[in-house]
Amino acid sequence: MKALDELTFDNRFARLGDAFSTHVLPEPLDEPRLVVASNAAMALLDLVPAVAETPVFAELFSGHKLWAEAEPRAMIYSGHQFGGYTPQLGDGRGLLLGEVYNEAGEHWDLHLKGAGMTPYSRTGDGRAVLRSSIREFLASEALHALGIPSSRALCVIGSSTPVWREKQERGAMVLRLAPSHIRFGHFEYFYYTKKPEQQAELAEHVLNLHYPECREQLEPYLAMFREIVERNAEMIAKWQAYGFCHGVMNTDNMSILGITFDFGPFAFLDDFDAHFICNHSDHEGRYSFSNQVPIGQWNLSALAQALTPFISVDALKEALGLYLPLYQAHYLDLMRRRLGLTTAEDDDQQLVERLLKLMQNSGVDYTLFFRRLGDESAEMAVAKLRDDFVDLAGFDAWAGLYKARVERDGDYSEEQRRERMHAVNPLYILRNYLAQNAIAAAESGDYSEVQRLHEVLSKPFEEQAGMEQYAQRPPDWGKHLEISCSS
């Protein structure tokens, strides 16, 4: 275990030089205060939870103090936003403070979001508000707990600094952890600005640090791209299986590591709705829930385009072709498990699709349905869940198929079934209204609700005593919350 001043820095990205990032110091927030810290994320840096309570912790993650070995840098990137290319983006309000190795030899980027203006701020103020910082913190840690690859969050530091959005809010910073902050958009930037040497340097950096096993392959760059395709297929399969809607799948928000990245107006589905659009500025529904699957491929194609100087078009196309079948295999595997099935049959895909259609038509809660399905025997569970459906005949037909399928699947006790199903079907997810409640309390100075919600969501599969209120469908006011895109 380490004290805060004992972190081991090795700032490899900073060493790539000024073509890749710019040195910028964080701009401190007034009256910094700890809102919430993640013990699990602290452990990634070998930090004991108690250090979060020390004044220096809040100072370090609000721009007042900096390690001597830190080298804060704003990274340059570009990207496709809503289908159109934006030639220059970059860290407009976040800084890569430095890179740290923990005792297990794992490498973590320390990225401070909301740290003030940079050369890439464009018209922005370089700040992040408390509301969006809490949402990013809760989502990163909740996704991780669900087993969905994601960037992590160490803490949120609040302040008295006023920040203007639709109304006056307070500035905050969130300390994000990820093995890398390199996005698809980094590669696009050097491709479209026609800087092949620097693009190769970037590719070498990513290969060495994050895909060393691809070095052994005949074509390391191609092997790396294939791996990125595979990781994205798996990540998006998990989003779809658990009802996570990212909301802004621009290529500058897609991680080169295939982890969920850059949280904006994201949402978890309450009622199942394939057409759900969580971003209210997304009028066309480009990033609707079901579109995330083809958009994943679109984004990978944009990355492939940027890699054409290194990899033949045919090989890139072939690698891209892996995406959909891999996605489907991962998705079906997860959905089978969510249904409590241990074997595979040809008609399982259809069984899932029929169920989702019924859920869609009846507005059934996506998370609670699967949880309750595992509460007791298939026979008993479907009998109880029947009331949630409008199309009773449709549901009965599905239930008949399901019970027969479960029967063919194997002979196991109700207890075994429950244990297996509860291990993949969460009871608690980050519903928008729960986040909203926690944010409202935090905005009036009470951080206990954010901390409690974070705690509950860190064990989403485990029923927790006295926490029933976190496992409910949203009340009427919380059903269709408009989540502001401004953050």
Under the criterion CB under 5 A, does residue 365 sit at the interface with Mg ion? no
Min separation Cβ 447 and ligand AMP, Å: 23
Residue 335, phi then psi, degrees to nearest 5:
-70, -35
Nearer to Mg ion, 249 or 311 (CB): 249
Under the criterion CB under 6 A, does residue 72 sit at the interface with ligand AMP? no
Q: Which of 46, 91, 109, 252 is the catalytic position?
A: 252
Nearer to Mg ion, 136 or 262 (CB): 262
Under the criterion CB under 5 A, does residue 425 sit at the interface with Mg ion? no
Residue 234 contacts which entry, Mg ion, ligand AMP, none (Cβ below 5-8 A, type-dependent): none
For 231-245, give one letter per residue: b (16+ CB within 10 A) or e.
Answer: bbbbbbbbbbbbbbb
Member of 92, 309, 394, 474 binding ligand AMP (CB under 6 A): 92
Report CA 405 to chain centroid distance, whole Å: 33
State both tokens at 273. Answer: 């709705």
Nearer to ligand AMP, 94 or 220 (CB): 94
Q: Which parts of 255-294 interact with Mg ion (CB under 5 A)?
A: 262
Catalytic-residue membership of 252: yes
Q: Which residues contact 331 (CB under 8 A, 6 or more apart)?
A: 237, 240, 241
Q: Which residues contact 432 (CB under 8 A, 6 or more apart)?
A: 267, 268, 270, 474, 478, 481, 483
How far apart, in whole angstroms, are the C-alpha atoms of residue 111 and residue 153?
9
Q: Which helix (H) or strand (E) segment is 100 a member of?
A: strand 94-101
Min separation Cβ 403 and ligand AMP, Å: 46
Residue 91 contacts which entry, Mg ion, ligand AMP, none (Cβ below 5-8 A, type-dependent): ligand AMP
Radius of gyration of the CA atoms of the chain, in A: 23
Under the criterion CB under 6 A, does residue 124 sit at the interface with ligand AMP? yes
Taking the CA atoms of residue 42, residue 155, residue 299 and residue 185 in that order, the dihedral angle to the nearest 10 degrees is -100
State both tokens at 33. Answer: 């205060």
381, burial (CB in 10 Å: exposed 0-12, middle 13-18, buried 19+):
buried
Number of chain residues interacting with ligand AMP (CB under 6 A): 15
Q: Which parts of 220-259 interact with ligand AMP (CB under 6 A)?
A: 248, 253
Member of 72, 258, 264, 426 binding ligand AMP (CB under 6 A): 264
Residues binding Mg ion (CB under 5 A): 253, 262
Residues binding ligand AMP (CB under 6 A): 89-93, 120-121, 124-127, 248, 253, 262, 264
Catalytic residue ranges: 252
